[in-house]
Amino acid sequence: MSTATKKLWKIDPTHSEIQFKVKHLVISTVTGSFGSFEGSLEVDGEQLEGADIQFKADINSIDTNNEDRDEHLKSDDFFNAEEYPKLAFSSTAFEKKGSDTYRLIGDLTIRGNTKTVELEAVHGGTVQDPYGQTKAGFEITGTINRKEFGLEWDAVTEAGNIVVGEEIKLQLNVQIVEQEG
């Protein structure tokens, strides 16, 4: 990329949500989120396609609305936040599929395990806010299997129901801000 046309965008954490959903006891869904995260998108010129996207979330900021469950998720049974304090994503491709849809492919690292994942990104638009900042919005969704990332803990009820599902649905609503360059 030439430095003259390179643009850097950063996630605005006050206008973004990083959430995940997982089945509990097969009958209901638990939603969790990360409260502390950072990310950037670097593009060449005006085109979003081909952007270099980087993202990190602090495992200790996990929140499922239940303190005991949060502590269990931070433990060695799941994320092992003490040894692996962050999860990270680094894009390998950002391809335009439609007028406002993209295919986002990259390496997701959780608990020291890195796997290639494919996500869908919908560009909600780009606007200038009242303060003169250029902002863009994206909704990013996808599904991963937690066991592929070393989150192996399992339990089964007396009736044979699995306590925590393996499939994790990711839902990120992010607003990015173009950085002055």
User: Looking at the predicted structure, is the pLDDT value of residue 180 above 90?
Assistant: no
What is residue 57's predicted lDDT score, i.e. its pLDDT?
Answer: 96
What is residue 110's predicted lDDT score, i.e. its pLDDT?
Answer: 92
Token representation of residue 167: 């499939």
Beta strands, E only, the chain: 6-11, 17-24, 28-34, 37-44, 52-58, 62-63, 86-96, 101-110, 113-128, 134-145, 164-178
3-state secondary structure of 68: helix
Q: Domain spans of the chain?
A: 6-178
Q: Which CATH number fits domain 6-178: 2.40.110.10, 2.40.170.20, 3.40.50.1220, 2.40.128.110?
A: 2.40.128.110
Q: For 131-142, give one letter per residue: b (16+ CB within 10 A) or e.
A: eeeebbbbebeb
Q: What is the mean pLDDT of residues 152-173?
A: 65
**32-61 residue pLDDT tens:** 899 999 999 998 877 888 899 999 999 999
